[in-house]
A and B are shown apart, each in its own frame.
Chain A
């Protein structure tokens, strides 16, 4: 199983500004003084020595995560703006040869559905797109976003065969060669996490999920949902202090709670996701360093690998 991130930003897509790009270039050039840069290999080696926040970016697309199983059908979580790039890659690979795309929707808020009108395969006859979710308004949400006056292309003009499948939380389904289990989460209008199991590997996608810490049984239920996962992709949008004070009831969680839940559940990798849009690359890198340190000082068993998702990250399980 392989997890590929196409969109990792929370709430709204963001882009680097010209000033931010210039600052990265200037810092890289300053750091290059005195280093051998005569050949392309020298330059590549120097760039490889820089951290992601210095030589690249965490990216700005809203939620879209691919779960690769090696099977013939595609599986993605959420249709945020990242699905546009995913669609381009799929079209580059297959052209007009029909494909099946299974989509698992965490919920129907704007940042998680906004990519569908820009998903190229949706316009190509013969493609099959199966949108799975637990919300009763699954179909309505997608039709409404493309209705006038909000978008110029009506949903009915999408030429792919688009199906909507309502799942029941807590029930396990065989889909695309995996067992998929949704779980109800705390978020305005509800959200759902998904546990994907295939060939002895487990990935959990849990975004837009608030943990209030009031109810120990709710915590225990998430620990079971995460149990022994190879990776948990987790909404770590806020600091703990913000998540339980000024941003309580905003429907998101923190790096601290994510690490604690994963430690209790014996998870191998904790991947922070749904990054705060106000954060620049240095902010996210600082949260990553802090979170790795927190994992280290609270560790009582096997180490938990801590990652911060970025657009383009691939995790091999």
Chain B
């Protein structure tokens, strides 16, 4: 798994690439850590850009659950966007759709999180 990040105003965008499974979940967790630390009331929002995630296993979903719990405790906002159809199905079947606010696209998510971030957004 590769990991990229970028920022639009106060929205930090995390973009994992490839498979998030037992081999890569820990790297994903470590990559998210600093972004989650800053995701709190009055601080950053985190947007998980899943457009390049091909698959996520239970171990990867556990990383997302821990992230959601941390952010909730910090009164921050974390959302997910642009899931590929297979990953969306995994979310639905595992009932993670009830855990994460999901958006069809990055623009949709930014529109919900921050007008400033949406204004700064430059689609690839």
Q: Which listed segment binds B: A98-106, A109-117, A238-246, A270-278?
A: A238-246
**Residue in A239, A240, A294 whose Cβ sees the most chain B Cβ within 10 Å:** A240
Q: B90 contacts which of A213, A214, A219, A294 (Cβ < 8 Å)? A: A294
A260 within 8 A of B: yes
Among the interface residues B86, B90, B93, which one has the most CB atoms of the partner chain A within 10 A?
Answer: B93
Contact A240:B96 (CB < 8 A) given known A219-B22, A297-B89: yes
Across the A-B interface, give the 8 residue pairs with the lowest CB-CB distance, nearest first. Answer: A239-B95, A240-B94, A241-B95, A290-B93, A213-B62, A294-B93, A256-B94, A241-B96
Given contacts A241-B96, A297-B90, 18 further A-B contacts (CB under 8 A): A213-B58, A213-B59, A213-B62, A216-B22, A239-B94, A240-B58, A240-B95, A244-B62, A254-B94, A256-B58, A256-B94, A257-B58, A290-B92, A290-B93, A291-B93, A294-B93, A297-B89, A298-B55
How many angstroms between the C-alpha atoms of A216 and B57 in the bound complex?
13
The verdict on B112 contacting chain A, using a C-beta distance below 8 Å, is: no
Q: How far is the CB of A256 from chain B (nearest CB, A)?
A: 5
Q: CA separation between A242 and B62, bound complex, in Å? A: 11
Task: Name which residue of chain A comes closest to B86, CB basis.
Answer: A297
Contacting B at CB under 8 A, from A225-268, are 239-242, 244-245, 254-257, 260
Q: How far is the CB of A304 from chain B (nearest CB, A)?
A: 15
User: B66-88: which have CB < 8 Å to A?
Assistant: 69, 86
Assess the B94–A245 pair: CB atoms within 8 A.
Answer: no
Chain B residues with CB under 8 Å of A244's CB are: 61-62, 65
Complex Cα gap A92–B95 (Å): 45
**Closest Cβ–Cβ distance, residue A216 to chain B (whole Å):** 6
Contact (Cβ within 8 A) B59 A293:
no
Q: Distance (Å) between the CB of B25 and the closest chain A CB?
A: 9
List the B side residues contacting A257 at CB < 8 Å.
Answer: 58
A256 to B94, CA, bound (A): 7
Closest chain B residue to A238, Cβ basis: B95
Q: Mark A181-219, 1 if CB is under 8 A from B, else 0.
A: 000000000000000000000000000000001101001
Shortest beta-carbon distance, A238 to chain B, in Å? 9
Q: Are B22 and A240 closer than 8 Å at their CB atoms?
A: no
Q: Is B99 an interface residue (CB 8 A)?
A: yes
The answer, among B57, B59, B69, B90, for a CB contact under 8 Å with A245, is B69
Minimum CB–CB distance from A243 to chain B (whole Å) comes to 9
Distance A183 CA – B95 CA, assembled complex (angstroms): 29
Chain B nearest Cβ from A254, distance in angstroms: 7
Q: From the candidates B57, B89, B99, name the one contacting A260 in the complex (CB within 8 A).
A: B57
Contacts A/B (CB < 8 Å), 18 sampled: A213-B59, A240-B94, A240-B96, A241-B61, A241-B65, A241-B94, A241-B95, A241-B96, A241-B98, A241-B99, A244-B61, A244-B65, A256-B93, A256-B94, A260-B57, A260-B58, A294-B90, A297-B89
